[in-house]
Amino acid sequence: MMHHPLIGTPQDRVDGRAKVTGAARYVADFETGAEVLHAHVLNSAIATGRIRRIDTSRALAVPGVVEVFTHENRPRTAWFSSAYKDDVGPPGKPLRPLYDASIAYSGEPVALVVAESYETARYAANLIEVEYEAKPHETDLLKQLPNSYVPKKRRSGINPPPRPKGSAASALENAPVKHVARYLIAAEHHNPMETHATTVIREADGKLLIHDKIQGAYATKHYVCSVFGLSEDAVRVVSPFIGGAFGSGLRPHYQLFLAVMAAMALERSVKLVLTRDQQFTIAHRPETWNEIALGAKPDGTLSAIRHKAVGSTSRYEDYQEAVVNWTNLLYSAPDVELEYELVQLDIETPSDMRAPGAPLGAFAAESAMDELAEKLGVDPLALRLHNDTQIDEVMNKYHTSKELRAACQLGAERFGWRHRPLAPRSMRQGRELIGWGLAFGAWEAQMQKHAARVMLDAEGHCTVGVATADLGTGTYTILAQIAAEALGLSMNKVTVLLGDSALPQAPVSGGSWTAASAGSAVHDACARLKAELLLAAQTRNDSPLVGAKLEEVMFDRERIVLMRDPMRAVSLQAAFAAGGRPRIVADGQAGPDQLTQLRYSSHTHSAVFVEARVDEELGQVRVTRVVSAVAAGRILNPKTARSQVVGGVVWGIGMALHEEAMPDHNLGRWMNHNIAEYHIPVHADIHEIDVIFAEEKDLLTSPLGVKGLGEIGIVGTAAAVANAVWHATGRRVRELPMTIDKVLGLTPARTEAR
Amino acid sequence: MRPFHYERPRGLEEAIAGKTEAARFLGGGTNLIDLMKYDVERPASLLDLTRLEGLREVERNGEGALRIGALVTNADAAAHPLVREHHPLLADAILAGATAQLRNMATMGGNLLQRTRCYYFYDRQTPCNKREPGTGCPAKDGVNRIHAILGTSEHCIATHPSDMCVALAALEAVVVVRGPSGERRIRMEDFHRLPGDTPERDTTLDAREVVTAIEIPAGDYGRHHTYLKLRDRLSYAFALVSVAVAMELREGRISRLRVALGGVAHKPWRVKEAEALLEGQAPEEECFGAVADRLLQGARGYGHNDFKIGLARLAIARALHQAAAAAPQSHVAKRIA
Ligand SMILES: Cc1cc2nc3c(=O)[nH]c(=O)nc-3n(C[C@H](O)[C@H](O)[C@H](O)COP(=O)(O)OP(=O)(O)OC[C@H]3O[C@@H](n4cnc5c(N)ncnc54)[C@H](O)[C@@H]3O)c2cc1C
Ligand code: SF4
């Protein structure tokens, strides 16, 4: 008898119907009718200084306005900034909204209007008069580069650059071939479809039910309990659906604090939904400057790598991400110097955005590798493979698995890389120059401590619960697959519950760790449940499974079957009847294995191949073909996995060509704060995207063999586009986004101007 | 947004009578309502025109002029057989703008009167002479990627963002308006104005006048026209630079040429002397540079938008080439031809 596998097969999203029919409820969809009050934030107009006077009288006079909160009348909350620390925040003093008269960035909240309707609140907010005492501010990263510093306290979970190996300086001096250049990537703002929002429902007994746009319900719960001094049982967080977050929902944002503050002070339910413009006041991917120097022998062997990156952060927190380590993770060299520094600006603290740090470093390193290949006169793919690492030279550990070469081969074949002429400007069709470029990418494969609960009833209905969030990533679906396969059920017999702080604990969903960690925890719970089920099935002396061990049976089509003699089987129903319990519940766990972590490092890898067509005279770029070949361990669901990678590729194209938050340095303010002027790719910009998964067996990273796919799709894409544009036009653009003017060379490079 | 009165005048006369400085006509609302939410427009009342009779027709008169009612939607105008047959340039320009959803709502009158997309104009927490006269123009030494290079003043460097209007300028359309003292016809070139020291005024329309129709005189360009739009992504973005060309060719020589630029000024930019340079000439690529030079005479950048001068030069040459070759830029293909 054949066992029908579900893991590894393409499955539709189990929540797909709910999403397209509107049945899925997002934060702003939770209502309590007229009971709920609506809040609107007024943001600071200046970048630094203080509020000299704030007059809310006109706002308060508007019929329907219930209260206006400012730093002058806000309720007393936690005094110490340490109480505002969240689960994943960087070192520093987190923003305390409405704490005092001082202003740390343009867009910081200065008042909260609470009213009977949303429109009233928004209107009244415009009537508040604020008199500021502005102080000089600085928002220009390049101007502040001389003041960059190594962060004193490292951010938990982010590896700082390793100590230098050998002497990159002298190795570079002696290198017969070298390449030195600077690369700059513009700041980007997360623009998930759902803007940040919090709905606080105040129950009759004063307890709070909070719907918050967060990538993990516990993160919100911990924060609220800590800031407002509430007991664990006074707060429940329920956020079953998140309309995209991309890292912007890893930390609680000011709308959560303000909504809870208002609900507690007014003893009412409160809803606070940020506008699209306000989405530009909470988090962003930091503008990042890179300088890279590569030295090589004439045969292409790298002799030295020096990669320095400087990212921007706020004045109040040292936000950090991994930008430079990837370079040596991908390429071997005897003399290596990696540096990562920060510059403080008067802006909001940056935050993780899809593959935080990696595409920024990869843009620099993978552009530089291409430029080196040009100098050496060799194929850029050959140069990369020649310098490919066999061990993780950054951490000095073995890889749990690394099928980058296999992925690369598959990708190159699908793309037709071997037909690529070496020289740029060699291919054209009509007025368009055609170029082919590639880049490698890598991202960490991690496990985080997760708990899961699985419950099965006599009718064969299974309920899986984990507190983690599905950000649109497909977590509902893969957890259903894992449970259904383990228990021998069909997918429609499994219900997955996520995003609820009443469920078994999980950290925020991010870093590509959710599939491996939550998946393994569910798998573990299922294993325990199966053991109990088998025991139940064996209760009766005449059970056909008497004496059978768990390894000797399989769970298939709602039956427990003895593998060596499939005629001997017990249906789940019979097992329940025999066991005498209406349902069986089992708890599971998963987490990183310390020993493995000590010896091994684990990453996903990709090779991205891009075809760009560029109008020779007008500089308009089209990315007409992308092949993203990924090695990421076991693929649970090729359909949702492909979506993850395609999403990353589209974003990478956006990073390469479109996305840019534009600061006005005189005002210290992002100016294109809406999605008409903050450009992301539209359909017309996207053509063929092909995703290939290379086979990669990895039993060390996670019990399921899964490595995670959330980030890898974006990592090398922007660099590959830049390399393709160079191959098409012969012009090297080192600053993203590569807008039409930069491709034409009509706008001088900012990094060269220094 | 601020509270306002919403009214539905039953006829044009009632609409005009109700129109005060503080009132606004409502077309599709795709621009006005946005600006109200941003607290930039603060009308005391909205006079909804969309149910008025007689402003929704597209017709051709005896002399071959095409008259398009002010309430015809952008989508309907672009799809109308008379427009497609006689003025495909207009249809192309409309289709180059916004998205299908927006064009379904947007009206011809509203498109003419849409306001600039200057970042500062939309952000009430920043100064802006157009929004609040006398507060200053931060765009001049701020973020001005999308700003003007021609016809600017020290008070304002905003552009008029419409694609449709650039085609209308090239087609020498006339805006038909009605006010308390009756009907007036305003040539397209006189309809939008340069900012000067009153950037708060976009057009020469009187506060109490309503646009009733757009008239396009007869003209035979055959397929010798194009609307070329360059922007920061291939759809759904305003023009960095756009060029509308209408060219009449007789026996291999240009008998009449109209060129208008978008994205570069407070109004669609035309220079008649530039057009005259090619009249009577064969459309040779070598001459296109001179047309661009003349069109861009006096152009200056403000930093981020410096590139527009060079880009406009390239775009003008390409557009002239497209028109001469009877190969208008497609707005369906995902590429520049
Ligand atoms: C995201 C976005 C992208 C866009 N992209 C583009 C683009 O690429 N290219 C482009 O050209 N446009 C673009 N547009 C703008 C769009 O074309 C305009 O918003 C639309 O044409 C306005 O028409 P409406 O009928 O909705 O005007 P409304 O918003 O109703 O009105 C606009 C103004 O015109 C006045 N008005 C309306 N009708 C009359 C009348 N008959 N007489 C007198 N005054 C009148 C109103 O009082 C108001 O001041 C975009 C808009 C958005 C929101
Ligand atoms: S360019 Fe015009 S619209 Fe923009 S800030 Fe200056 S005055 Fe205002």
Residues A127-148: what's their mean pLDDT? 98
Which of B120, B152, B192 maximizes ligand 2 atoms within 8 Å of its Cβ, making it the mutation to test the pocket?
B120
The CA distance from A753 to A184, in Å, is 12
Judge whether A711 counts as a catalytic residue: yes
Which member of A123, A671, A741 has the closest CB to residue B311? A741
Question: Is the distance from the beta carbon of residue B173 to the nearest atom of ligand 1 less than 6 Å?
Answer: no
Which residues in B lie closer than 8 A to residue A618 (C-beta atoms)?
A: 230, 311, 314-315, 318, 336
Task: Please list, in sequence order, all residues whose beta carbon lies within 8 angstroms of the beta carbon of residue A91, skipping any fewer than 6 positions away.
Answer: A151, A152, A153, A154, A155, A317, A318
Residues B130-137: what's their mean pLDDT? 98
Residue A693, beta-bridge partner list: A630
Residue A558, Ramachandran bin (φ over 0: left; ψ between -120 and 50: alpha; else beta): left
pLDDT of the residue at A3: 58
Percent of chain B with pLDDT over 70: 100
Which member of A617, A664, A679 has the closest CB to residue B318? A617
Q: Which atom of ligand 1 is nearest to the CA of B33?
A: 29
Residues A138-145: what's their mean pLDDT? 98
The CA distance from B114 to B127, in Å, is 20
pLDDT of the residue at A754: 39
Which member of B123, B141, B336 has the closest CB to residue A615? B336
The CA distance from B331 to B163, in Å, is 12
A371-378: long-range contacts, CB 8 A cutoff, minimum separation 24: A371/A179, A371/A181, A371/A732, A372/A177, A372/A178, A372/A179, A372/A294, A372/A296, A373/A300, A375/A177, A375/A178, A375/A179, A376/A177, A376/A296, A376/A298, A376/A300, A377/A422, A378/A300, A378/A422
Question: Residue A614 phi/psi, 5° resolution?
Answer: -125, 125
Task: Please list, in sequence order, all residues whose beta carbon lies within 8 angstroms of the beta carbon of residue A280, skipping any fewer than 6 positions away.
Answer: A107, A189, A661, A670, A673, A678
A501 and A21 Cβ atoms separated by less than 8 Å: no
pLDDT tens-digit readout, A278-304: 999 999 999 999 999 999 999 999 999
A184 and A736 Cβ atoms separated by less than 8 Å: yes
What secondary structure letter does DSSP report for A630? E
Which residues in B lie closer than 8 A to residue A277 (C-beta atoms)?
A: 123
Percent of chain B with pLDDT over 90: 96
Residue A537's Cβ-count burial label (10 Å; 0-12, 13-18, 19+) is: buried
A714 and A678 Cβ atoms separated by less than 8 Å: no
pLDDT tens-digit readout, A213-228: 999 999 999 999 999 9
| Rounded distance from Cα A636 to ligand 2 centre (Å) | 53
Task: Please list, in sequence order, all residues whose beta carbon lies within 8 angstroms of the beta carbon of residue B307, skipping any fewer than 6 positions away.
Answer: A740, A741, A744, A746, A747, B301
In a domain, B4, yes or no: no
In a domain, B309, yes or no: yes
Q: Which atom of ligand 1 is nearest to the CA of B103?
A: 17
Which of B111, B146, B192, B331 maximizes ligand 1 atoms within 8 Å of its Cβ, making it the mutation to test the pocket?
B111
**Residue of A276, A747, A750 best to disrupt the B interface, most CBs of B under 10 A:** A747
Decide: helix, strand or coil at residue A305. strand
Domains of chain A in start order, with CATH, are: 16-22+447-591 (3.30.365.10), 31-136+193-245+249-281 (3.90.1170.50), 146-188+284-446+598-743 (3.30.365.10)
pLDDT of the residue at A168: 97
Percent of chain A with pLDDT over 90: 96
pLDDT tens-digit readout, A592-601: 999 999 999 9
Nearest to A312 by CA among A282, A347, A339, A338: A347
Which amino acid is residue B52, in one-letter code? L
* Model confidence band, residue A541 (pLDDT cutoffs 50, 70, 90): confident
Whole-angstrom CA distances from B315 to A71, A684, B239, B259 are 53, 20, 12, 12
Question: Is the distance from the beta carbon of residue B26 to the nearest atom of ligand 1 less than 6 Å?
Answer: yes
Interface residues of B toward A, Cβ cutoff 8 Å, are 1-3, 37, 39, 117, 119-120, 122-126, 138, 141-143, 145-146, 230, 232-238, 240, 304, 306-307, 310-311, 314-315, 317-318, 334-337
In a domain, B107, yes or no: no
Enumerate helices (H) and strands (E) in chain B, giving the number of each. Answer: 13, 11
In a domain, B268, yes or no: yes
**Cα angle A131, A134, A140; round to 5:** 140
Neighbour tally for A577: CB within 10 Å: 16
How many structural domains are present in chain B? 1
In a domain, B265, yes or no: yes
CB-CB under 8 Å, B232 with A674: no
Q: Whose CA is nearest to atom 2 of ligand 2?
A: B156
pLDDT of the residue at A2: 47
* Model confidence band, residue B157 (pLDDT cutoffs 50, 70, 90): very high
CB-CB under 8 Å, B123 with A672: no
Which segments of A229-346 does DSSP mark as H helices, in order? 254-266, 325-330
The CA distance from B305 to B146, in Å, is 7
In a domain, B243, yes or no: yes
What is the ipTM for the molecules in this complex? 0.97
Q: Which ligand has the nearest atom to the CA of B138?
A: 2
Q: Which ligand has the nearest atom to the CA of B115?
A: 1
Which of B7, B71, B107 maximizes ligand 1 atoms within 8 Å of its Cβ, making it the mutation to test the pocket?
B107
Which residues in A lie closer than 8 A to residue B289 (C-beta atoms)?
A: none
Residue A388's Cβ-count burial label (10 Å; 0-12, 13-18, 19+) is: middle
Which amino acid is residue A720, in one-letter code? A
Decide: helix, strand or coil at residue B159. coil
Decide: helix, strand or coil at residue A496. strand
The CA distance from A96 to A110, in Å, is 11
Query: Please, what is the end-to-end C-alpha distance for chain B in angstroms?
Result: 43
Which amino acid is residue A163, in one-letter code? R
Residues A567-579: what's their mean pLDDT? 94
Is A70's pLDDT higher than 50?
A: yes
Is B106's pLDDT higher than 70?
A: yes
The CA distance from B27 to B45, in Å, is 14
Which member of A618, A672, A744 has the closest CB to residue B336? A618
| Rounded distance from Cα A672 to ligand 2 centre (Å) | 14
Nearest CA in chain A to B242: A618
Residue A436, beta-bridge partner list: A611
Nearest to A179 by CA among A290, A289, A288, A296: A296
Q: What six digits make up the tokens of A499?
A: 């995003």
Nearest to B189 by CA among B259, B276, B277: B259
pLDDT tens-digit readout, B172-201: 999 999 999 999 999 999 999 999 999 999
Size of interface A-B (CB pairs under 8 A): 113
In a domain, B186, yes or no: no
Question: Is the distance from the beta carbon of residue B191 to the nearest atom of ligand 1 less than 6 Å?
Answer: no
CB-CB under 8 Å, A673 with B123: yes
| Rounded distance from Cα B82 to ligand 1 centre (Å) | 23
**Cα angle A81, A82, A87; round to 5:** 120
pLDDT of the residue at B333: 82
Residues A118-125: what's their mean pLDDT? 97
Q: What six digits make up the tokens of A595?
A: 């020993």
Residue B253's domain is classified under what CATH number? 3.30.390.50
The CA distance from A302 to A324, in Å, is 16
Q: Which atom of ligand 1 is nearest to the CA of B163?
A: 11
B162 and B240 Cβ atoms separated by less than 8 Å: no
Rounded to the nearest 10 degrees, what angle do helices A717-729 and A638-657 cross at? Answer: 50
CB-CB under 8 Å, B318 with A618: yes
pLDDT tens-digit readout, A242-283: 999 999 999 999 999 999 999 999 999 999 999 999 999 999
Average pLDDT, chain A: 96
A470 and A498 Cβ atoms separated by less than 8 Å: yes
Largest CA distance in chain B: 62
Residues B25-44: what's their mean pLDDT? 97
pLDDT tens-digit readout, A633-688: 999 999 999 999 999 999 999 999 999 999 999 999 999 999 999 999 999 999 99
Of the residues A188, A194, A485, A711, which is catalytic? A711
Which residues in B lie closer than 8 A to residue A119 (C-beta atoms)?
A: 1
Residue B134's Cβ-count burial label (10 Å; 0-12, 13-18, 19+) is: exposed
Please list every protein residue whose CB sits less than 6 Å from any atom of ligand 2: B 116, 118, 120-121, 128-130, 137-139, 156-158, 199
Task: Please list, in sequence order, all residues whose beta carbon lies within 8 angstroms of the beta carbon of residue B49, skipping any fewer than 6 positions away.
Answer: B9, B15, B25, B26, B27, B55, B70, B71, B107, B109, B210
Which member of A618, A664, A684 has the closest CB to residue B315? A618
Average pLDDT, chain B: 97
Q: Which ligand has the nearest atom to the CA of B119?
A: 2
Tell me which residue range forms the domain holding B259.
225-324
Nearest CA in chain A to B126: A45
The CA distance from A220 to A233, in Å, is 14
Question: Residue A703 phi/psi, 5° resolution?
Answer: -55, -25
In a domain, B272, yes or no: yes
Which residues in B lie closer than 8 A to residue A672 (C-beta atoms)?
A: 119, 143
CB-CB under 8 Å, B125 with A744: no
Is A753's pLDDT higher than 50?
A: no
